[in-house]
Amino acid sequence: MIQRFGAILRPRAPETMLVSGFAGAILLTALALLLPWSHRGSLGPLDALFTATSAVCVTGLAVVDTGSRFTALGQGVILAAIQVGGLGVMTFAALAFNLVGRRMSLRARTSLADSLVHRDLGGELRSQFLSILRVVLLLEAGGAILLFAGLVPAMGWPHAAWSGLFHAVSAFCNAGFSLYADSLTGLRANPVVSATVMALIVTGGLGVPVLWDLKKRLRRIASRAPGDRFALHTRLVLWTSALLIAGGALSLLGLGPTGESSGAGVSLSAALFQSVTARTAGFNTVPIGALPLASLLVLVLLMFVGGSPGSCAGGIKTTTLALWGASLASRLRGRRHVRILDRFVPEDRIRHASAVIGLSVLWNIGGVLILSVSEGGAGTPLREIVFEQVSAFATVGLTTGLTPDLSASGRLWIVASMFVGRLGPLTMVMVMVRKRPAEVRFPEGKVMIG
């Protein structure tokens, strides 16, 4: 079977392998959820497809309640799909090849590098991958233990153990799936649960390159060995993430994050939690539909940016925003080259960032138009449509309450948005558009702007 799977992977382009891998995982998950012992009551094929896509694409949007409509087996299937989608289908393919002692093809290693660490792993694939996997499992296990400790006083230990494990994996993978109908609203006064979930979300959204760099730095500190400062990518991710979290929390705090008159401590914790979770995690400790319009706009902007490359998060990514901002600042100052954190940025990286932002904006504009047609007849406000579209594309999972009421065509579009958002619009275009061997240069033309 491994040989047959390797034969399928070899002739294909890396981006095609990623798309087919995620599509296959979604199909298998949907079929498993349709089994009679995976759910309670009736579950239609479209609902199973929606749930499977949301789980594999680590989104968290749900048309049926996870805790009440799915059995323990069904919840286990969803949890496995979240883990597979969070780390990436190609990552698990690499694990299978490593376990049987086989060497992956160059194309398969390239796909793994693109989906996980965005660089060539070369001959270090086995050692680095297994080390990364150990770190991920250790972080999830630690989070599960902390959540168990925070939940066990209010519920029995069997339920607290399963709930702690489920929410730890869901939080680290930035999935946002919860066993509770109100997400974590009923647990917002529990500081252990809130702090642990936030820590897992942030850690899972930093990306493997950053975690790998942090691990090397901790090793140097432990051994008291001299070392260089963090890589540019790590510094850029940490700075951008910190600014987004702090800026989002302050904005929500000023605009009224809870929608109710509560103490300053509760409001601050709610604002911080929603600022963190809007970065593609999807949990909520306050009713999203009750937030003021300005707060919803802040959440939409945070969702659109998302997490960092090589992470479980979606969105256009923090580094894309940082590069685009640096490019804009350089153009306004009349600089020929783009500099960021005292480093020169190659022009191809700037073009890549601009392409990602442009394609993402176009997809979401088209999505808002499609949902306005499919859901507008029911009198759905435009703010709920915009919020739902961006949440699906950025694989966040937050909703104002529109998800269960979506029409069949609306659900299919949200499924497509989650799929494209998880893989990235640029990857999808590379799959669909045939590459030209050479670029024809036309005569230069001048166009007025502004």
290-308 tens-digit pLDDT: 888 999 999 999 999 998 8
Residue 419 is assigned to a structural domain of this protein: yes
What pairs with residue 340 in β-bridges?
A: 343
C-alpha span between 139 and 137 (Å, rounded):
5
For residues 137-161, give the mean pLDDT: 91
Q: What is the DSSP string of 53-112?
A: HHHHTT----SS-HHHHB-HHHHHHHHHHHHHHHH-HHHHHHHHHHHTTPPPPHHHHHHH
pLDDT exceeds cutoff 70 at 226: no
Question: Which residue, chain included where needed, has tokens 């909703």?
Answer: 399
Q: What is the DSSP string of 333-388?
A: TT-SSEEETTEEE-HHHHHHHHHHHHHHHHHHHHHHHHHHHHHGGGT--HHHHHHH
C-alpha span between 439 and 38 (Å, rounded):
52
> Could you tell me the two tokens for 397?
């999972």
Please, what's the b/e burial string for 183-221 (b: 16 or more CB within 10 A of its CB; e: otherwise)? bbbebbebeebbebbbbbbbbbbbbbbbbbbbeeeeeee
pLDDT score at 314: 84
C-alpha span between 273 and 250 (Å, rounded):
11
pLDDT score at 377: 73
Residue 255 is assigned to a structural domain of this protein: no
Domain count, the chain: 2
DSSP helix/strand/coil, 39: strand
pLDDT exceeds cutoff 90 at 161: yes
Identify whether the C-beta of residue 164 lies closer than 8 Å to the C-beta of residue 75. Answer: no
Of 346 and 246, the one with more pLDDT: 246
Of the candidates 120, 155, 190, which is a domain's last residue?
120
C-alpha span between 418 and 256 (Å, rounded):
29
Residue 447 is assigned to a structural domain of this protein: no
pLDDT score at 290: 84
Side chain identity at residue 201, one-letter code: I
* Per-residue confidence band for 344, with pLDDT thresholds at 50, 70 and 90: confident
DSSP helix/strand/coil, 11: coil
pLDDT score at 282: 85
Alpha-carbon distance values, 358 to 267, 313, 318, 393 (Å): 35, 19, 15, 14
Q: Check which CATH number belongs to the domain holding 29 and give it.
A: 1.10.287
Of the candidates 102, 120, 138, which is a domain's last residue?
120
Residue 155 is assigned to a structural domain of this protein: no
Of the ranges 2-6, 213-217, 374-378, 397-401, which one carries the lowest mean pLDDT score?
2-6
> Could you tell me the two tokens for 272?
């911080």
Comparing CA positions, the residue from 202, 226, 203 lying closest to residue 216 is 226
* Per-residue confidence band for 263, with pLDDT thresholds at 50, 70 and 90: very low
pLDDT score at 21: 82
Of 109 and 419, the one with more pLDDT: 419
Mean pLDDT across the chain, nearest whole number? 81
Question: Which residue, chain included where needed, has tokens 């705090």?
Answer: 253
Of the ranges 138-152, 212-226, 399-413, 423-437, which one carries the lowest mean pLDDT score?
423-437
Of the candidates 120, 145, 160, which is a domain's last residue?
120
Give the structural domain span for 83.
Answer: 1-120
227-239 tens-digit pLDDT: 667 788 888 999 9
Of the ranges 144-158, 189-203, 210-224, 314-328, which one carries the lowest mean pLDDT score?
210-224
Residues 6+ apart with CB under 8 A from 260: 290
pLDDT score at 19: 80
Please state, for a pLDDT cut of 70, what percent of the chain lies above it: 78
368-386 tens-digit pLDDT: 999 999 987 767 899 999 9
pLDDT score at 436: 56
Residue 343 is assigned to a structural domain of this protein: yes
Q: What is the DSSP string of 192-204?
A: HHHHHHHHHHHHH
Residue 424: phi and psi, rounded to 5, are: 95, 135
Of the ranges 53-57, 234-238, 253-257, 371-375, which one carries the lowest mean pLDDT score?
253-257
Q: How far is CA 210 from the centre of its chain?
A: 16
> Could you tell me the two tokens for 165?
């494990």
Neighbours of 27 (CB within 10 A): 14
pLDDT exceeds cutoff 70 at 406: yes
Residue 112, judged by CB atoms within 10 A of its CB (0-12, 13-18, 19+), counts as buried
Question: Which residue, chain included where needed, has tokens 């690499």?
Answer: 94
pLDDT score at 281: 85
Question: Which residue, chain included where needed, has tokens 């963190």?
Answer: 276
Residue 345 is assigned to a structural domain of this protein: yes
Identify whether the C-beta of residue 421 lies closer than 8 Å to the C-beta of residue 333. Answer: no
Neighbours of 378 (CB within 10 A): 11
Residue 52 is assigned to a structural domain of this protein: yes
pLDDT score at 123: 47
Residue 89 is assigned to a structural domain of this protein: yes
Identify whether the C-beta of residue 296 lies closer than 8 Å to the C-beta of residue 193. Answer: no
Identify whether the C-beta of residue 170 lies closer than 8 Å to the C-beta of residue 176. Answer: yes
Q: How far is CA 318 from the centre of its chain?
A: 12
